[in-house]
Structure 1
Amino acid sequence: MTANKELVRRLLRRAGTTYAQEAGIRLRNQPMPLFQLLMLCMLASKPIDAGIAARAARELFKCGLRTPHKILEAERQTLIDAMGRAHYRRYDESSATMLVELAEAVQKDYGGDLRLLAERCGRDIPAAAEALQAFKGIGEVGASIFLREVQNVWPWARSTFDDRALDAARNLGLPSDADTLGALSQGRTAELAAALVRYALDAGVRERLCE
């Protein structure tokens, strides 16, 4: 157990930046950052590097596009240009359309406040995943990212580790049971989940962990 705790500390130190943090989202249980996270999850659901998706989200936020209202007010070209600056070019046209549809759905179904999604789902992880997948552009991958990233501000969503994170944990000799793994994070389950995903995807992280 002591060895596991030390390994988790190293993981968090070397790779414990969440994707929300990378995108510049100060995640809180409030409407704006929750919608920003949903935007990021839609962008990251495409077959594109997660870092590019985070940069695209950051560029959109720099334009003040952080709420459904602001997305719906914006010129389509503003969305496309912001994503282009992040080199999110292959999917910029389709993602601009999906961002507008996402904003419309969040505004229509939840009055712009995704805390209502948690409430209507009875704070149940499978129900929340299903509700998230009802948004166009948020499939199983996007819902998984959202719940993985939001768990520090939605404590009922702990401990969410997707298959990629659990596979990485197994490869490192860490527990593959989500609750046992989460207990090693000392309250930083979102950061640990992100670190495990980064370990799985990034050879540089794997090398740094061995240093």
Structure 2
Amino acid sequence: MADPKTAQDVASDLLDRHKRTFAAEASIRLRDRPKPLYQLLVLTTLSATRISADIAVAAARELFRAGLLTPQRMLASSWQHRVDALGRAHYKRYDESTATKLAESAQYLQDEYSGDLRALRPDSADDVAGVVDALTGFPRIGPTGADIFCREAQQVWPALSPYFDKRALRRAGKLGLPTEPRRLAKLAPDGDVALLAAALARDA
């Protein structure tokens, strides 16, 4: 009889199936800079509807190819330009409303944070709840959307880590992995908790 798989074996198998974060799949080179953080916000906004993660990622890539890489460019674009980009990614049913929400979100970012999401960057774990609350102030981003953003942003905002949303923790439990975040984080390759969290969310 074969030896049962260890938690590390299960995590390694999972990461063999899912090798990139959602941000990386959307061609976002995530850094603690205004432009890539804004792109993550766009991806989060797209992911916060009842639509597949693959389509949300494809829609983000189309928007970025269309030049909508900053809140300024998003605001300068026409509503139809945004709708067309979403349509090319087959982001259907929500394309028109999302085109509107993207502009509203960019305006909110400009008005509240001068276009720079680093204003939300936490200094310690004690600040994480405040980050989540602030993110829910953006159009269309509720608690689930805030979880998506934080799950990815922990790669460049260490104070967020370890951040596993409910979806990732449910999948961890089903795979027989720890569901306590700090224990689960120990299974992350080279300390890349964002990659493990994204893999669990995608595998759910």
> CA offsets, 1:69-126, max 9 Å, x none?
0001111111000000000021011001100000001111111110011259987111
In the alignment, the residues of structure 1 paired with residue 95 and residue 167 of structure 2 have an alpha-carbon distance, to the nearest angstrom, of 26
Aligned pairs (5 A) from 1:54-203:
54-118=57-121, 124-185=127-188, 186-200=190-204
Q: RMSD over aligned Cα, in angstroms?
A: 1.6
Instruction: Provide the residue aligned with 2:23 in structure 1.
Output: 20
Say if 2:62 and 2:86, in contact at 8 Å, map to a contact too.
Answer: yes
Moved more, 181-190 or 117-126: 117-126
Q: Specify whether residues 155 and 67 from structure 1 end up closer, same or farther in structure 2 by C-alpha distance, changes over 3 A only.
A: same
Q: Please give the TM-score of this superposition, normalised by the length of structure 2.
A: 0.93
In the alignment, the residues of structure 1 paired with residue 108 and residue 199 of structure 2 have an alpha-carbon distance, to the nearest angstrom, of 31
Q: Please give the TM-score of this superposition, normalised by the length of structure 1.
A: 0.90
Say if 2:122 and 2:159, in contact at 8 Å, map to a contact too.
Answer: no
Q: Which runs of 5+ in 1 are unaligned?
A: 201-211
Q: Which runs of 5+ in 2 are unaligned?
A: none
Percentage of pairs with the same residue? 48
Partner of 1:90, secondary structure, is: coil
Give the letter for the 2:37 counterpart. Answer: L
Instruction: Provide the residue aligned with 2:42 in structure 1.
Output: 39
Instruction: Provide the residue aligned with 1:208 in structure 2.
Output: none
In the alignment, the residues of structure 1 paired with residue 200 and residue 77 of structure 2 have an alpha-carbon distance, to the nearest angstrom, of 36
In the alignment, the residues of structure 2 paired with residue 77 and residue 64 of structure 1 have an alpha-carbon distance, to the nearest angstrom, of 14
Say if 2:125 and 2:159, in contact at 8 Å, map to a contact too.
Answer: no
Say if 1:159 and 1:189, in contact at 8 Å, map to a contact too.
Answer: yes
Report the count of equivalent residues. 199
In the alignment, the residues of structure 1 paired with residue 126 and residue 35 of structure 2 have an alpha-carbon distance, to the nearest angstrom, of 19
Query: After TM superposition, where is structure 1 displaced by more than 4 Å over at least 4 residues in a row?
Result: 119-123
Please state how far the C-alpha of 1:14 moved relative to its aligned partner. 1.3
Say if 2:125 and 2:160, in contact at 8 Å, map to a contact too.
Answer: no
